[in-house]
């Protein structure tokens, strides 16, 4: 299918064509007709599938038809609620791009900055508002936001809003909107709590689910280290120092784990920061800016917080903790090796994560290089407990590997953290 087959206005088609879009992605191809029909929609899709365009393009089309070249005072007719400042900014940029040949106006608001410029723009009138929950409710309470004329409400990254504790704020926001609105609900995952939330807000919705990607970029060098759980921080330090790694994005499964990794790195004079749901939006942005400006060399993130990270030419991704969802691995390492650039994706696998690693291998169908030349291997166990690839590579290196491991082990008796 081509974009021109979606019956979009010529103004939008021109903007889309200039961005180099010819064929809609699966989430766009399925969602755009539903949104144009006025139906409520539940979209389950990961970041990187073209989700923002799937709702932004049809919303712009609808509002362009409603508003046209009207000289009347502008009113908020579309509202996009998203959990973080970073995501709000990205969505706002997308709306600006797709609507550049229309007379629609949009504003992105978030906390952590002065509200005065945002209030000034609101007073002049806008058609589309992109907002984080806290700032939206704050400005509404002050009387600067009127949602009585709202046509479409988008709740984006719903699972992340749930994780960050925004559920009550979202419920308050929904109550401020007209009952006859169109509601679009997007989430990367659909656990029971998210489905229950969708049932509260949507009326007879259509559901679109896009299968997660399963392939990894060919120009990404993938490695796996089978490591004792308690030695992961030692191995991380060893790699960063010995391979002179910089601009490293490290994935941790938990917020607490991310903070612990950062503390350990800092103790050894490696500039590092964590980014996760417990950090304020302003704090996350400061950390992200510092990483982009190379003021810190290592950024440790949880999967949910990483959704708002948009960094080009990221050279190294390290899975400090393996994800329990195989598709998440693909999205994690997809942050390196972009735009034809090479990249390195390193994974640490402890014994209790071996099942996760086997599921990842089933999905990606790639022979990932097992690295044995390190001193932090799993302790000896039954043959069944060690991965076949590890056994195979270990046998190749024979006694030379054993003596090398023994020598280096003595040097590493003192933990670095």
- Looking at 44-191, list the stretches that DSSP marks H as alpha helix, in order from N- to C-terminal side: 51-67, 85-98, 116-124, 133-141, 158-163, 167-175
pLDDT band for position 211 (50/70/90)?
A: low
What pLDDT sits at residue 78?
Answer: 96
Bridge pairing between strands 343-349 and 220-226: parallel
What pLDDT sits at residue 312?
Answer: 59
Q: What is the mean pLDDT of the chain?
A: 83
Cα–Cα distance between 229 and 320 in angstroms, integer?
10
- Would the pLDDT of 275 be above 90? no
Percent pLDDT > 90 in the chain is: 49
pLDDT band for position 66 (50/70/90)?
A: confident
Q: Tens of pLDDT along 101-148?
A: 999 999 999 988 899 999 999 999 999 999 999 999 999 999 999 999
Q: Tens of pLDDT along 299-347?
A: 998 876 676 666 656 889 999 999 887 878 887 887 886 655 678 999 9
- Is residue 268 within 8 Å of 240, Cβ to Cβ? no
What pLDDT sits at residue 1?
Answer: 73
Q: Tens of pLDDT along 341-387?
A: 678 999 999 999 999 999 899 888 888 999 988 888 887 643 334 44
What pLDDT sits at residue 24?
Answer: 87
Q: How many CA atoms lie within 13 A of 239 on its CB side?
A: 28
Instruction: Give the contacts of 119 (CB within 8 A, at least 6 positions apart).
Output: 139, 144
User: What mean pLDDT comes out for the span 208-225?
Assistant: 76
Q: Which has more confidence, 16 or 385?
A: 16
Domains parsed from the chain with CATH numbers: 3-209 (3.40.50.300), 220-411 (3.40.50.300)
- Is residue 275 within 8 Å of 281, Cβ to Cβ? no
- Would the pLDDT of 391 be above 60? no
């Amino acid at each position: 299918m081509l974009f021109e087959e979606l019956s979009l206005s010529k103004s939008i088609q021109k903007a889309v064509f200039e961005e180099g879009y010819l064929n809609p992605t699966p989430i766009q191809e399925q969602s755009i007709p539903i949104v144009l029909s006025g139906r409520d929609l539940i979209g389950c899709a990961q970041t990187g599938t073209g989700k923002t365009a799937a709702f932004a393009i049809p919303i712009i089309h609808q509002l362009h038809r409603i508003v046209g070249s009207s000289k009347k005072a502008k009113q908020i007719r579309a509202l996009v609620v998203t959990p973080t400042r970073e995501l709000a900014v990205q969505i706002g940029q997308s709306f600006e791009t797709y609507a550049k040949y229309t007379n629609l106006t949009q504003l992105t608001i978030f906390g952590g900055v002065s509200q005065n410029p945002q209030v000034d723009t609101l007073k002049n009138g806008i058609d589309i508002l992109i907002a984080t929950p806290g700032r939206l409710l704050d400005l509404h309470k002050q009387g600067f936001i009127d949602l009585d004329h709202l046509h479409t409400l988008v709740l984006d990254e719903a699972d992340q809003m749930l994780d960050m504790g925004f559920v009550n704020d979202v419920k308050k926001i929904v109550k401020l909107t007209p009952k006859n609105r169109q509601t679009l609900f997007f989430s990367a995952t659909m656990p029971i709590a998210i489905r229950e939330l969708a049932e509260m807000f949507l009326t007879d919705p259509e559901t679109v689910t896009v299968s997660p990607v399963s392939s990894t970029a060919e120009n990404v060098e993938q490695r796996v280290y089978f490591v004792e759980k308690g030695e992961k921080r030692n191995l991380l330090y060893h790699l960063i120092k010995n391979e002179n790694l910089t601009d490293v994005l490290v994935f941790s499964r938990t917020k607490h784990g991310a903070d612990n990794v950062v503390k350990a790195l800092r103790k050894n004079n490696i500039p590092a920061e964590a980014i996760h749901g417990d950090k304020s939006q302003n704090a996350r942005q400061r950390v992200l800016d510092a990483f982009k400006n190379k003021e810190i060399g290592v950024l440790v993130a949880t999967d949910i917080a990483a959704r708002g990270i948009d960094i080009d030419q990221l050279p190294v991704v390290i899975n400090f903790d393996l994800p329990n969802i195989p598709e998440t691995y693909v999205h994690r390492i997809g942050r390196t090796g972009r735009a034809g650039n090479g990249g390195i994706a390193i994974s640490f696998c402890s014994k209790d994560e071996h099942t996760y690693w086997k599921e990842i291998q089933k999905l990606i169908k790639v022979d990932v290089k097992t690295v044995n030349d390190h001193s932090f291997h799993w302790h000896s166990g039954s043959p069944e407990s060690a991965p076949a690839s590890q056994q195979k590579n270990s046998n190749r290196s024979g006694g030379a590997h054993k003596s090398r491991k023994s020598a280096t082990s003595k040097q590493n008796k003192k933990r670095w953290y």
